[in-house]
Amino acid sequence: MLELLPVPPADPLWDLTAEYAADPRPERLDLVLGVYRDHTGVTPVMAAVKEAEIRLAERSGSKEYLGLSGNAAFNRAMLTTVLGTGTLTERATAVQTVAGTGALRLLADLVRQTRPGTTVWISDPAYVNHRPILEGAGLTVRTYRWLDPTGRSDATGMMEDLALAGAGDVVLLQGCCHNPTGADPSFETWEELAGLAATNGWVPFVDLAYHGLGDGLDADLRPTRMLAERLPEVLIAVSCSKNFGLYSDRTGCAVVVGSSARALRHVETALQNAARTLYSMPPDHGAAVVATVLEDERLRAAWRAELDAMRQRITADREDLVAHLGALGHERQARALAAQKGMFSMLPLGPEGMLRMRRRSGIYGTTAGRINIAGVPAHRIPFLAQGIADALRTPSAAETV
């Protein structure tokens, strides 16, 4: 049997990570994977998370199964965090998932159960795993424009393309800090999207993976809450990997907003059934940590302060990179980077330019041009700016051979 297995494509991000690990240059810089690193290059455990873990260890008495929906306290806390303390939570339900990736897949399965063959629209460019997850669930994928020629969010192109999305279609939107580009629409564009969805009858599917790392937690959640307030149905995939630093604990949540509590009567069961066939139930540790933090006023305030500090550090590093790149004579490229938000920036290099940057400077980003700005120690910003500038230079004859 196994000799009949076709050669599967390797994951491009992990391939680049392996290439970085094999690079002998001590000055090399890994900006491939989307993880936050502090000034020493370490991905830290947040202090609020550490305290919650200590509390859990002291009171833990059992590792018994929690059930297919996962940690109920976590689900309640996530509904309030994402949708606010108003009445929106009364027409929403949540199921704990294996990180944001699991939430994306469960919600994709829900769409397939509801309407097999549904078309889901994703941005171009998109998060590298969006298309495989959706197509793996048996859905049809189309794309809409995301970037204009200057590297900013292309509101006009996006609205023109999504005007073609019809009743019953689903549109996948990243709620903030777009991956891979860092380019977000204005709130006015979000409002236009809500109006278009109401007119044409398509359903927003919001991917929330970086809330708190763009303009602040409430500001980053504002578009998602607005969609939920104005539209009868919204699907939301939530990740706790970045804003709680729970990368390896795989903590996430699938949220469904319906027109009423009655409209949701079968949704949780459908999500549970999908989870049962994929992984049965999610691990509890990360969810228990998040629930402990969010249910305690002091811990919640401490977590938000840490999250704000992370966001401010990312913003300061991006501003520093923009300044250094401009000083090297690349003001146009620097202006595009200045408009981006969150963990990622899209460099104006393309595959050949990114290859030049790897070869010339040992700076690793994705082939498409994405770098993890949250992974750059502050003292390495000048080195990164110089590496980008060097990669923008015309390749030499030796490099084109």
pLDDT tens digits for range 299-341:
999 999 999 999 999 999 999 999 999 999 999 889 889 999 9
Where in the chain are all domains bearing CATH 3.40.640.10? 65-295
Task: Find out if CATH 3.90.1150.10 is the number for domain 65-295.
Answer: no
**Each residue of 209-251: pLDDT tens digit?**
999 999 999 999 999 999 999 999 999 999 999 999 999 999 9
Q: Residue 361 has which token pair?
A: 């400077």
Where in the chain are all domains bearing CATH 3.90.1150.10? 10-44+300-400
Q: Is the pLDDT higher at 398 or at 82?
A: 82
**What's the alpha-carbon Rg for the chain, to the nearest Å?**
21
Residue 399 has pLDDT above 60, yes or no: no
Confidence band of 396 (pLDDT split at 50, 70, 90):
low
What's the distance, CA 5 to chain centroid?
32
Homologous superfamily, domain 10-44+300-400: Aspartate Aminotransferase, domain 1 (3.90.1150.10)
Strands 119-124 and 170-174: parallel
Average pLDDT, the chain: 94
Q: Residue 207 has which token pair?
A: 């991917």
Q: Residue 84 has which token pair?
A: 């606010």
Q: Is the pLDDT higher at 196 or at 12?
A: 196
Sign of torsion over alpha carbons 324, 328, 332, 337: negative
What's the distance, CA 15 to chain centroid?
20
- In this prediction the pTM is 0.94
Q: Which of 301, 247, 208, 315 is nearest to 45 (CA)?
A: 247
Confidence band of 400 (pLDDT split at 50, 70, 90):
low
Alpha carbons 250 and 393: distance in angstroms, whole number: 41
